[in-house]
Amino acid sequence: MSSTIHKSSSFDSSYDVVVIGAGLGGLGAALNLALSQKSVLLLEQHNLPGGFASSFVRGRFEFEISLHEMCAVGPPEGPLKGPIRYVLHDESSVDVEFVPVPEAYHLILTGEEHKINVKLPFGVENFIDTVCSAVPETPRESLVKYFDLCRECSEALTFVARSKGKIDFKTLMVKYASFLTTSGYSVAEVTNKFRFPRKTLDLLYPYSCYMGLPASRLDFTIWASLLHLYITQGAYIPKGTSHQMCSAIDTRIRELGGQTEYNTKVKKILVEDRKVVGVETDDGEKIKAKYVITNCSPHLVYGKLISPASAVPVEAHKLNNSRRLGVSAFVVYMGLDASPKDLNLESYGYFISPHMDTEKINKSMLQYENMPDLTASICLNNAIPDCSPPGTTILSITTAFGIDVWKNITPETYFATKNKFARQMIEQVSKALDSPISEHIEEIEVATPQTFSRYTGSFKGGVYGYDLDPWDSLVIRSQVKNKEEFFKGLEFAGGFAAMGHGYNSSLLSGRQAARSVLWKMKKEGG
């Protein structure tokens, strides 16, 4: 599915809320505000909604730009139904269909130290059975306790999210004591207490690549919730691609009375006396609003958008400078003229690497002499068989680079470097799967950090928000949120907001930002 949404020329003089950016955070915010019958204007500089959550067409194939899979969706009915399905279906009646991903992941390690080829299933018991079968020395009882801890952390995060910044610590201490005990520690610090064999950790850690951090730096609470949600609820993808999902959200916003405008860039967020008073577009049109929700990064907001710039307090710049930007991505998209069966592609999602040492993987992301060690591949047809014509396959291969690595690539070496990495990635996957991929390429596109920067305006091509270090993760951000509100009426949504990056977190952060605005409106009698 592909469509273009054109710019309109009519704005009201004022709105209850202006939302900047139609990424998932901005869409989630505008949707919730429209549901609450507030006058909301969503402005997007691109001609399509979604940001990274979109697709593109080459020849006979439509490729997902960034989506591998979504957690927090869950099945349509029952206790495992997730918040994404609730928000989009039950609460908002958005016309999007989700299909399940068949397995958690297929891990292939090719190094001499530990060769492994294992398909990990969903379901905690099934997952534990598979790990213990593949690595018999795994202490099963410890693994059961580990997943119990992950469940508690996930449930505690839900409790914290529902507290609206007023956390009941007495309840936390009674019901979620282990959550408090592990909060503020890294994945490595907590997981190492369970004394799992190295080979068990290899099977346990692949999802960490979705966070872009090694186990020594990744916040355990976030990791625990991620692992719990994926393994218990399964993973899902929109049947009609991310673009269809985002277009359906846009449609629903407009059906509810909200206004969405594309090809419209916001140049300034106007403030007076530390209060938001409106925005100004690139065309010089000023629009009044007491509240602005932005899907942009605080770096962009405080560095360029706030007007007058002198109104930005030094504390805002210090906060920005203290945080670390997440990774950028490199993706090879291929349309292949053979079926998945003919290409020996039996699974939906593959993690392939010489090893699963997250420290070494992270180090390999910080150089540009060779491709990083780990790739994550998706064969879309194994979740949606008719996503491409009969007898064809859509395959994408993704890896990640540190945010500053590609600054060393010059215009003269750009294409040679891009092609070198693409060849290395195709060779790695072909060899691991014993697949004749290169012989069947009908369409191919390669996206680099520069591609993502040009497409979305993301700084240095970053595809995640700020790194989720233990000192700057969801729990900490939730506790200090009020201290970081430098302008009354300004809220953040998307990958740079408190909930962190990822499809589900970005979408839910938009809803959270909208509900924060609605609460403030009610408090002010609006």
Per-residue confidence (pLDDT) for residue 226, from 0 to 100: 95
- DSSP run (H or E) holding 148: helix 140-161
Q: Which CATH class is domain 14-60+239-312+486-523?
A: alpha beta
Give the tens place of pLDDT for each residue, 415-427.
999 999 999 999 9
What count of other Cβ atoms lies within 10 Å of the Cβ of residue 210?
18
Per-residue confidence (pLDDT) for residue 37, from 0 to 100: 97
CB distance 442 to 337 below 8 Å = yes
- For the record, the structure tokens of 206 come out as 């692949």
Per-residue confidence (pLDDT) for residue 112, from 0 to 100: 84
DSSP state letter for 213:
S
Per-residue confidence (pLDDT) for residue 2, from 0 to 100: 41
Distance CA 155, CA 81 (A): 14
Distance CA 94, CA 29 (A): 14
Q: Residue 364: CB partners within 8 Å, gap ≥ 6?
A: 370, 372, 373, 374
Per-residue confidence (pLDDT) for residue 63, from 0 to 100: 98
- Comparing CA positions, the residue from 185, 269, 253, 170 lying closest to residue 219 is 185
Amino acid at 225: S
Per-residue confidence (pLDDT) for residue 3, from 0 to 100: 46
Extents of the domains making up the chain: 14-60+239-312+486-523, 120-234, 327-460
- For the record, the structure tokens of 75 come out as 């099945």
CA torsion angle for 490, 455, 365, 326 (degrees, to 10)?
Answer: 0
CA 77 vs CA 73, 125, 165: distances in Å = 11, 21, 30
**pLDDT mean by block of 10 residues, the chain; 526 residues:** 50 95 97 98 96 96 97 94 96 98 98 91 98 97 98 87 67 83 93 97 95 94 95 97 97 98 96 97 95 95 97 94 93 98 98 97 92 97 98 98 90 94 98 98 97 88 88 75 88 90 93 94 83
